[in-house]
Amino acid sequence: MFDGLREKFSTILKRLTGIAVMTDSLLCELTSETKKSLIDADVNREIAEELINKIAEKVKGKSIPNGLSPGDFFVFSLYEEVKDLLGESEELILKGKPSPVMISGLNGSGKTTTCGKISRFLKENGKSVLLVPCDLKRAAAVEQLRILAQRAGVDFFEPEGYTDPVRVASKGLKFAKSKAYDVAIFDTAGRLHIDKELLKELNKIYNEIEPSEHLLVLDAMTGQEAVRIAAEFKKVVPITGLVFTKVDTDAKGGAILSVRKISGRPIKFLGTGERLDDLEKFFPDRIAKRLLSFGDIEGIFERFAKAVDEKKIKEMEEKVKKADFTLDDLLEHITLLKSMGGLRKILPLLPGSGIPKEEMVLLAEENIKKTEAIILSMTKKERANPDIIDGSRRLRIAKGSGTNVADVNRVLKSYKNLKKIMKRFKKINMLNLTGG
């Protein structure tokens, strides 16, 4: 997936090599070509236009952060917007015992295979699963699910000659309740095209089992059609999430970029092959990276983070000089240190080996989560003025951060010491930290 798009993007960006300034006309050319590539790859036209406008807004007339080229900046902006378009990564909604999960979609989209994959995924996460076949038109469909259940090592509900899918759904749910399964997954019948009968049947099953999650399975190969199917289904049966299958094929991939925005429903899983473990949880940043993998996206991130960090470090320096180093600053300091990767690497470089052991401990990797949680449990007022943190506040902070009062005391004491030390240093050359 995305092969065509990647290739086109890469051609567009090659022209930017060695160009130091992003002019308006260049940006205009870039955005119009990018838009065309997106539309060619099945991205919905309006969505492509919106995306391009946002990128242009981001890039136009902005000073490019130090260390980044116009090309880097363009790719970075594209990455951010694509990620945004894809929404958040969301968990499967499981509610009740069992949590009913309904799977629907057109014929051949990969419903039954997905039922097997999700049951395996849930089983690996310690859940007991019952698979219920509600596609009873073809004996082969029932058999397919039975075999998948066996392979995934989960239980299968025998339809025992029933031909009414609503009946089987209801019986399956009752059975799952009586045996206290964690999850019951209902495989449903598809059609070649959306038709009223199908939607009516799905609606009946939906009302019968009231699923906590109803996943619509979409075939990435069908392109824009997938987006239309999602819209049509949604009109009749409530959908909680989407699964995109066959992303391992040479599907253009544009549909995946459009469907979240148009359907308003999150993509929860991707099908990446025919085997049971060819299922990926959906992470927008991974998809965006996959799409832009022609460019050195990780390198761009690093350079970007560094440019931003340098600015922050300068601000921090100012604060330290003025000695108005608040607990908020300490928190930021910690985040910054973490983002610079490997505290162990950085700690020895900290200005002045004069920092006592105790304060080093505060910043040590093992304790950093605790320190962070404690500061985050303080109110804004408390962070700006720790002197007001009395005994009852300490208790509240300890509870809020899942630590104890002794931990809170240690953070406060260390902070005070750090502040004193920083005052003494006057100027701390934090910039040295990032050089290298």
Ligand X SMILES: Nc1nc2c(ncn2[C@@H]2O[C@H](COP(=O)(O)OP(=O)(O)O)[C@@H](O)[C@H]2O)c(=O)[nH]1
Residues contributing to the site for ligand X (CB under 6 A): 105, 107-113, 190, 245-246, 248-249, 271-274, 278
Residue 246 CB, nearest distance to ligand X (Å)? 4
Residue 249: contacted member of ligand X, Mg ion, none (CB under 5 to 8 Å, by partner type): ligand X
3-state secondary structure string across 315-375 = HHHHHHHHCCCCHHHHHHHHHHHHHCCCHHHHHHHCCCCCCCHHHHHHHCHHHHHHHHHHH
Residue 96: contacted member of Mg ion, ligand X, none (CB under 5 to 8 Å, by partner type): none
- Residue number with CB closer to ligand X (49 or 278): 278
Residue 425 CB, nearest distance to ligand X (Å)? 58
**Are the beta carbons of 226 and 218 closer than 8 angstroms?**
yes
- Residue number with CB closer to ligand X (188 or 258): 188
- Residue number with CB closer to ligand X (274 or 365): 274
Q: Could you give phi then psi for residue 182, rounded to 5 degrees?
A: -75, -40
Kindly list the distances between the CA atom of residue 57 and the CA atoms of 20, 81, 218, in Å, as whole numbers in the listed order: 19, 11, 33
First-to-last alpha carbon distance for the chain, in angstroms, is 37
- Residue number with CB closer to ligand X (55 or 148): 148
Residue 83 CB, nearest distance to ligand X (Å)? 22
Residue 110: contacted member of ligand X, Mg ion, none (CB under 5 to 8 Å, by partner type): ligand X
Q: In what order do the strands lie in the sheet with 129-134?
A: 155-156, 129-134, 183-188, 99-105, 213-219, 241-245, 267-271, 279-281
Residue 242 pairs with which residues in a beta bridge?
A: 216, 267
Residue 271: contacted member of Mg ion, ligand X, none (CB under 5 to 8 Å, by partner type): ligand X
Q: What DSSP string runs through 286-300? A: HHHHHHTTTS-HHHH
- Residue number with CB closer to ligand X (121 or 325): 121
Residue 109: contacted member of Mg ion, ligand X, none (CB under 5 to 8 Å, by partner type): ligand X
CB proximity list for 366: less than 8 A, separation 6 or greater: none
Closest alpha carbon to 168 in 178, 180, 160, 179 = 160
- Residue number with CB closer to Mg ion (8 or 111): 111
Residue 204 CB, nearest distance to Mg ion (Å)? 18
Residue 141 CB, nearest distance to ligand X (Å)? 7
CB proximity list for 387: less than 8 A, separation 6 or greater: none
Residue 230 CB, nearest distance to ligand X (Å)? 15
Residue 272 CB, nearest distance to ligand X (Å)? 6
Tell me the one-letter amino acid at 110. G
Residue 190 CB, nearest distance to ligand X (Å)? 5
Residue 100: contacted member of Mg ion, ligand X, none (CB under 5 to 8 Å, by partner type): none
Residue 31: contacted member of ligand X, Mg ion, none (CB under 5 to 8 Å, by partner type): none
Residue 103 pairs with which residues in a beta bridge?
A: 187, 215
Applying CB under 5 A, the residues found at the interface with Mg ion are 111-112, 141
Establish whether the linkage from the previous residue to 98 is cis, with ω within 30° of 0.
yes
Rounded distance, CA 296 to CA 427, Å?
A: 36
Burial class (CB in 10 A: 0-12, 13-18, 19+), 200: exposed
- Residue number with CB closer to Mg ion (111 or 333): 111
Residue nearest to ligand X (CB): 271
- Residue number with CB closer to ligand X (275 or 311): 275
Residue 272: contacted member of ligand X, Mg ion, none (CB under 5 to 8 Å, by partner type): ligand X
